[in-house]
């Protein structure tokens, strides 16, 4: 049965039809990826479903009693609330009622009997008494530091907290708009695992192709106001879409040929002053109207990087370079060489030191020790993920042309409006202030601005954020053919695999190591990110204690006549021993992570390395199975 149905939904802004009488339905268990060009209406569609945007016409239907939660793009405030408080707020009415209930209980000086009775009745109705137990369960499931303040957490951890907040109400429908933006790879992979376990309906927008491949089991594409639905993964959809476009081109060609023939006929008819066939004239008029309403498929962006005179063969060389900030080690002493033509990806968790590394390489930051030698004839172009190079008050043309109407591209003069057309900005859009653009459009503006500058060293910090898939693939092709040197910071695993020739991995505690190949090659060679800091997660013993406490937490009295089923002795014993088993597995995994993170681990005996890695993988699988079994036993006990 469908949880969600859209019937003949239309939304237009001015003369631009974003959604044109679209209809579709979706069921529980589906993970629906919404794809399409920047500005195609993807975010608008989510807003229509959530109720934030009222459609011009049509209707959204949810099955009775179904609930919707959203994971917003923006991170929650780094305020003084605890993680537990923020997660609880996701329960909405139940949280508000419980907060009010306990506040009234603490007010001994006044009589609140009537209001307390009303709140109790409402909590009974919405089954809100188990809120604390649900929060404990969610905090434990997502391994959150329950008593930490939000101000103490990194951006990735705050993203985890708002996912818990979205899930605490046990929604039937979950809406995600670019959930991976600005997250590092470990957090993205963690989120993939959590969402794959969600049993309701997920609708999500993402530019991360690997995330899309792993999560989606249905694709809907918004294209020129229309919706195409396909059950299957993204790769199967792309084959299907290619055939669909070929059929559309053939149909359009036949239509245009018929229109041309009718235009010739009517001109000849007028010239000969013959009596015209009014029915045929009406048919021609209808053809003309249909042709004028047909929205041509938007072309691909045309990008080209102008390369300055070649740099010297050596771009940069590190000799025993190290750096730290106060007590935090960013770089342990390392030797490293960048040669002309290298395409190097920098990977690691947020805050690990990637930006510091680039600043040292460019000479903008003096290392704590060691020497940096720069090559000759370097001309650097820098792509900033925060888009600080753009003036939001200026138009697209003013930002790119920098006050000039004509710019020089690869030795040829080109009008800035024509140049922006290659980046899919029609003249009217090129004269629009940057502040009015979508995130993807702003990234295209920054790329257009960047590529006007001749450079033989290109540094790009998260260039893929908010770009549509087709523009992403074009940028990949462009960088593959770039004959200068590329240093790329990205959390887009597919982009890294398709573009770079080697990666510099920040593996924790200042350890930085170079690997040949892309992200997959790094994983294949035994690379991994540092384990999560115990300062932001509970220790294994604390987790075990949390499990025990959560199990022992007092729930509201059951309704008269209902008793919980009693577990058998064997199962009860298994349940009682599970927290200790989980804690032991986590301690073993932590010890193995320490072993595999040592500087000389991968230089040792190859068989021993493989056995240790296999043991680590086995223990992690054991832990996952134990956690699933514990949840199963808890459900049995709670009946």
Residue 235, helix vs strand vs coil: helix
Answer yes or no: is 456 a known binding residue: no
Phi and psi for 227 in degrees, rounded to 5? Answer: -120, 130
* HSE (side-chain half, CA atoms, 13 Å) at 570: 0
CA 206-210-216 angle, 5° bins: 65
Answer yes or no: is 279 a known binding residue: no
Answer yes or no: is 443 a known binding residue: no
User: Could you tell me which of 588, 621, 592 has the C-alpha nearest to residue 528?
Assistant: 592
* HSE (side-chain half, CA atoms, 13 Å) at 281: 9
E-state strands within 475-615: 485-489, 502-506, 512-516
Answer yes or no: is 181 a known binding residue: no
Answer yes or no: is 42 a known binding residue: yes
CA distance 119 to 98: 8
Structure tokens at 283: 């048919």
Residue 344, helix vs strand vs coil: strand
CA distance 129 to 166: 19
Answer yes or no: is 354 a known binding residue: yes
CA 163 to each of CA 3, 88, 220: distance values in angstroms, whole numbers, following the listed order: 21, 12, 23
User: Could you tell me which of 65, 132, 63, 67 has the C-alpha nearest to residue 94?
Assistant: 132
CA distance 141 to 194: 9
Answer yes or no: is 505 a known binding residue: no
HEC profile of 238-263? HHHHHHHHHHHHHHHHHHHHHHHHHH
The H or E element that residue 476 is part of is helix 469-480
Q: How many helices (H) and strands (E) does the chain have?
A: 21, 20
As beta bridge partners, residue 487 has 344, 459
Within 8 A by CB and 6+ apart from 33, the residues are 204, 205, 206, 212, 215, 216, 218, 219, 220, 234
Answer yes or no: is 591 a known binding residue: no
CA 306 to each of CA 7, 380, 412, 457: distance values in angstroms, whole numbers, following the listed order: 49, 12, 11, 11
Task: For the beta carbon of residue 191, count every other beta carbon within 10 angstroms.
Answer: 22
- Specify whether the CB–CB gap between 175 and 195 falls below 8 A: no
Answer yes or no: is 353 a known binding residue: yes
Answer yes or no: is 544 a known binding residue: no
How far is residue 10 CA from its own chain's centroid? 27
Answer yes or no: is 570 a known binding residue: no
Answer yes or no: is 556 a known binding residue: no
From the number of C-beta atoms within 10 Å of its C-beta (0-12, 13-18, 19+), residue 557 rates as: exposed
| Residues in the annotated binding site for ATP | 36-43, 348-355
| Residues in the annotated binding site | 36-43, 348-355
């Amino acid at each position: 049965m469908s949880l969600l149905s859209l019937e003949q939904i239309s939304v237009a802004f001015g003369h631009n039809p974003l959604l044109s009488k679209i209809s579709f339905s979706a069921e529980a268990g589906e993970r629906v990826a919404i794809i399409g060009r920047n500005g195609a209406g993807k975010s608008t569609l989510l807003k229509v479903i959530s109720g934030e945007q009222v459609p011009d016409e049509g209707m959204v239907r949810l099955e009775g009693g179904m609930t919707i939660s959203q994971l917003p793009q923006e991170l929650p405030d780094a305020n003084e609330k605890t993680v537990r408080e923020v997660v609880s707020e996701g329960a909405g009415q139940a949280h508000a009622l419980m907060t009010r209930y306990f506040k009234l209980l603490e007010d001994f000086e006044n009589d609140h009997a009537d209001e307390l009775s009303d709140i109790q009745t409402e909590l009974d109705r919405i089954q809100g008494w188990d809120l604390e137990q649900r929060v404990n369960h969610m905090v434990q499931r997502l391994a959150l530091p329950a008593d930490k303040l939000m101000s103490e957490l990194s951006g990735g951890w705050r993203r985890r907290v708002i996912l818990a907040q979205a899930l605490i109400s046990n929604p039937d429908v979950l809406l995600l708009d670019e959930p991976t933006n600005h997250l590092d790879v470990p957090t993205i992979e963690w989120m993939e695992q959590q969402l794959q376990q969600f049993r309701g309906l997920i609708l999500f927008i993402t530019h991360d192709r690997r995330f899309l491949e792993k999560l989606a089991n249905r694709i809907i594409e918004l294209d020129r106001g229309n919706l195409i639905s396909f059950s299957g993964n993204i790769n199967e959809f792309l084959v299907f879409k290619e055939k669909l476009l070929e059929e559309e081109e053939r149909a359009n060609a036949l239509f245009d040929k018929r229109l041309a023939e009718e235009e010739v006929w009517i001109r000849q008819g007028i010239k000969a002053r013959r009596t015209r066939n009014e029915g045929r004239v009406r048919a021609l008029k209808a053809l003309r109207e249909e042709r004028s309403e047909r929205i041509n498929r938007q072309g691909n962006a045309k990008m080209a990087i102008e390369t300055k005179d070649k740099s010297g063969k050596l771009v940069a060389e590190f000799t025993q370079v190290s750096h730290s900030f106060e007590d935090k080690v960013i770089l342990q002493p390392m030797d490293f060489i960048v040669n002309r033509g290298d395409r190097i990806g920098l990977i690691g968790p947020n805050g690990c030191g990637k930006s510091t590394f680039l600043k040292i390489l460019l000479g903008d930051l003096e290392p704590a020790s060691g020497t940096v030698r720069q090559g000759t004839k370097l001309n650097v172009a820098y792509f900033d993920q925060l888009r600080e190079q753009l003036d939001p008050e200026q138009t697209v043309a003013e930002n790119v042309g920098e006050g000039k109407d004509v710019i020089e591209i690869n030795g040829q003069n080109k009008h800035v409006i024509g140049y922006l057309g290659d980046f899919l900005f029609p003249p009217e859009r090129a004269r629009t202030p940057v502040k009015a653009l979508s995130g993807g459009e702003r990234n295209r503006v920054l790329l257009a601005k960047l590529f006007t500058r001749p450079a033989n060293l290109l540094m790009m910090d998260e260039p893929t954020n908010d770009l549509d898939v087709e523009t992403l693939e074009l940028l990949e092709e462009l960088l593959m053919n770039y004959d200068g040197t590329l240093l790329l910071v990205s959390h887009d695993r597919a982009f890294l695999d398709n573009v770079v020739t080697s990666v510099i991995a920040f593996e924790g505690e200042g350890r930085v190591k170079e690997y040949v190949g892309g992200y997959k090659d790094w994983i294949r060679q035994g690379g991994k990110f540092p384990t999560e800091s115990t300062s932001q997660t509970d220790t294994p013993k604390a987790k075990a204690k949390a499990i025990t406490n959560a199990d022992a937490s007092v729930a509201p009295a059951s309704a008269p006549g209902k008793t919980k089923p009693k577990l058998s002795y064997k199962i009860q014993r298994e349940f009682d021993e599970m927290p200790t088993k989980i804690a032991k597995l986590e301690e073993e995994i932590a010890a193995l992570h320490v072993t595999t993170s040592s500087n000389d681990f991968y230089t040792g005996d190859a068989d021993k390395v493989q056995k240790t890695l296999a043991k680590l993988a086995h223990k992690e699988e054991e832990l996952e199975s134990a956690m699933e079994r514990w949840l199963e036993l808890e459900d049995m006990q709670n009946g």
